């Protein structure tokens, strides 16, 4: 049997990279999508190919562009002649207070977090049906209980949760579709970094009293793709119990 193939968006770093490593360790070939982190993507591919030659490749694309979505999907399906999984991990996150949000903010956040997963799956669907494959969408616990001043982000993730359940019904039995909703795993970086006081406030509401690990998310994704052939339409919160106290 040929190795199964997964396309993982936004996989050059953070949770996407951990997911690629986890699936690779379980015998998958991986297509690492990236937008601008070419060096990180190529380094990851090189490391994976050293462990198992010819098992990883990277593809660049701006998922805000329809032509790039189509191209990345086509390249992913053609590289090994099959596609067994799509992991919609790439995401845009930043505050957009309602009084200040612009149409460009709407297009950026909704485009990356909702439009791109929809049309990427549309382009990948024939290959996924052929392989009786699976889809995992990275959602967020804020899709159900919104984060202040992030209405567009929360709406985009709530929409992706709805797509997850809709696809699970519409694409069965050929394709399974599930979601993973992370809690506090990796704090945001750069301008959106969370100050230590706010970090502690979040952890105080988390029954496990700590952040999770990237492998917690990667393991949940691997469960849906590798170990759950009778599970579809489910969204698993991997949040240390924080959604109980939001």
**Domain 5-238, CATH among 3.30.465.10, 3.40.50.10790, 3.40.50.720, 3.40.309.10:** 3.40.50.720
| pLDDT per position as a tens digit, 93-152 | 999 999 999 999 999 999 999 999 999 999 999 999 999 999 999 999 999 989 999 999
| pLDDT per position as a tens digit, 175-184 | 999 999 998 8
% of the chain exceeding 70 in pLDDT = 96
CB 76 within 8 A of CB 7: yes
Q: Is the pLDDT of residue 187 over 80?
A: no
pLDDT score at 198: 72
Closest CA to 57 of 87, 33, 36, 78: 33
Instruction: Tell me the pairing of strands 176-182 and 134-138.
Output: parallel
CA dihedral 32, 37, 38, 42 (to 10 degrees): -50
The whole-chain average pLDDT of the chain stands at 94
More reliable by pLDDT, 188 or 181: 181
d(CA 74, CA 70): 6
Q: Is the pLDDT of residue 61 over 90?
A: yes
Per-residue pLDDT, averaged over 31-45, amounts to 97
Per-residue pLDDT, averaged over 195-208, amounts to 80
pLDDT score at 196: 73
Q: Is 34 designated active site?
A: no
pLDDT score at 188: 67
User: How would residue 193 be classed by pLDDT, with cut points 50, 70 and 90?
Assistant: low
Per-residue pLDDT, averaged over 51-74, amounts to 97
User: Among residues 34, 94, 142, 153, which one is catalytic?
Assistant: 153
Integer CA distances (angstroms), 176 to 50, 51, 64, 215, in order: 31, 29, 25, 22
pLDDT score at 191: 59
Q: Is the pLDDT of residue 246 over 80?
A: no
């Amino acid at each position: 049997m040929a190795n199964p193939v997964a396309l993982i968006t936004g996989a050059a770093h953070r949770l996407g990279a951990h997911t690629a490593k986890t699936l690779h360790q379980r015998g998958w070939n991986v297509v690492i999508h990236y937008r601008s982190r070419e060096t990180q993507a190529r380094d990851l591919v090189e490391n994976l190919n050293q462990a198992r030659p010819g098992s990883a490749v990277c593809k660049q694309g701006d998922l805000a562009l329809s032509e790039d979505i189509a191209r990345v999907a086509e390249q992913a399906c053609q590289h090994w002649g099959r596609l067994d999984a799509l992991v919609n991990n790439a995401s845009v996150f930043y505050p957009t207070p309602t009084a200040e949000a612009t149409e460009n903010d709407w297009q950026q956040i909704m485009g990356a977090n909702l439009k791109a997963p929809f049309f990427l799956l549309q382009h990948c669907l024939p290959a996924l049906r052929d392989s009786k494959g699976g889809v995992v969408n990275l959602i967020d616990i804020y899709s159900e209980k919104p984060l202040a001043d992030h209405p567009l982000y929360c709406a985009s993730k709530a929409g992706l949760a709805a797509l997850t359940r809709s696809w699970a019904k519409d694409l069965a039995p050929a394709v399974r579709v599930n979601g993973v909703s992370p809690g506090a795993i990796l704090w945001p970086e750069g301008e959106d970094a969370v100050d230590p006081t706010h970090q502690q406030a979040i952890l105080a509401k988390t029954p496990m009293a700590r952040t999770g690990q990237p492998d917690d998310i990667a393991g949940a994704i691997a469960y849906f793709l590798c170990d759950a052939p009778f599970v579809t339409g489910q969204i698993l919160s991997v949040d240390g119990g924080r959604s109980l106290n939001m």
